[in-house]
Amino acid sequence: MPIEINIPKDLIKDFQDYGNNIAKNIATQVRDALTEEYNYSVQQFYASYDPKQYKRQESLYKTGKKYYRNPHGTRFYGGVEIYPDKMGTHHQSNDYILDISLMGIHGEPQIAITPPWILDHMLTYRNLLFDSIDVNDGGIGSTAISKAKSNSYTILKFK
């Protein structure tokens, strides 16, 4: 015969808040890590080639923006958005310059293709980062849980 247990609404709300705090913490950690890695990959892209026939503007450093969104209170998104709108003025469109740069192509009229390819690097890094979300190994998940436990809740308490 089943046993009926009455769980207080405040405890249910605490568990929901706790879960949301974990998700928010993971999203912000992923956001910060991806943004930092994007800036690093841009630096490596520039270091891989010295232009011979044009002056580099280094405008790719202005393209990565931290991204965080919580549209419903139960879903959290974090990452880096890449926009060409603040790159400055080029002889080609900013969209074009950003596109070829993400693929590892440097400048015109002398075109050079060199590693690292920013887009490939970022996709590989994203996958490695997602693999590190495991809650048991000291990765992003366990850090997010620790932060969530430090918040205050109505009934829920952690030692």
pLDDT in tens, 118-149: 989 999 999 988 887 876 667 788 889 999 99
Kindly tell me if the per-residue pLDDT of 109 is higher than 70. Answer: no
- Helix or strand or coil: residue 85? coil
Contacts of 3 (CB under 8 A, 6+ apart): none
Scanning 48-138, the segments in alpha helix (DSSP H) are 94-102, 118-131
pLDDT in tens, 39-71: 999 999 989 888 877 778 888 888 999 998 888
At residue 136, the pLDDT reads 67
At residue 139, the pLDDT reads 77
Residue 149: phi and psi, rounded to 5, are: -65, -25
Distance between CA atoms of residues 118 and 34, nearest Å: 12
Kindly tell me if the per-residue pLDDT of 114 is higher than 80. Answer: yes
| Mean pLDDT of all residues in 11-35 | 93
At residue 41, the pLDDT reads 93
| Mean pLDDT of all residues in 9-20 | 94
Which of residues 52 and 24 earns the better pLDDT score? 24
| Mean pLDDT of all residues in 73-89 | 84
E strand or H helix that includes residue 115: none
Query: pTM value?
Result: 0.82
pLDDT in tens, 85-102: 888 777 788 888 888 888
At residue 135, the pLDDT reads 65
At residue 98, the pLDDT reads 87
**Terminus-to-terminus CA distance in the chain, angstroms?**
34
Residues 98 and 122 sit within 8 Å (Cβ to Cβ):
no
